[in-house]
Amino acid sequence: MANAQAITGVAKQAALGAIVDGKTLKMALYLASATTNGSNTVYTSTGELAATGNYTAGGNSATNANTAGLTGTTAYWTPSASVQWTSFTSSGAFDAAMLYSTTDSNRALAVYTFGSQSVTGGTFTLTMPTNDSSTGLIRLA
């Protein structure tokens, strides 16, 4: 077998662990008309749903009882519970959620998109995937 250039799995796990392990995390929802994406470095209220209808500016907490895992050379992490808004009425159609760390000055970690939603007096749940190297919410392969 030939030598191969690579970042080791344990280095990826350590890097991901430094970002998520033990941090206080939140998820905020963004209007379909917003331009929130991977270029955001911190949480922004620009384009976020209005703080009405049982939605609070800044979003809801993402339960963080998992630590960064490793399978082979893929590091991964997923919140340990779904993020949910109850008795919720959205201020408009929304199609994105930003995961960010309040521990680290609201550092943006990721933006996830989904089909456009509008909710009136209902429950909206972001169901988290299995915390593994194939489907983890954050994966460093």
- Three-class SS of residue 79? coil
Look at residues 93, 88, 96 and name the one whose alpha carbon lies nearest to residue 120: 88
pTM: 0.94
Residue by residue, pLDDT tens for the chain (141 residues) are 799 999 999 999 999 999 999 999 999 999 999 999 999 999 999 999 999 989 999 999 999 999 999 999 999 999 999 999 999 999 999 999 999 999 999 999 999 999 999 999 999 999 999 999 999 999 999
What is the rounded distance in angstroms from the CA atom of residue 100 to the CA atom of residue 62? 9
Q: Where are the domains of the chain?
A: 9-140
pLDDT at 1: 75
CA 78/CA 53 separation, integer angstroms: 28
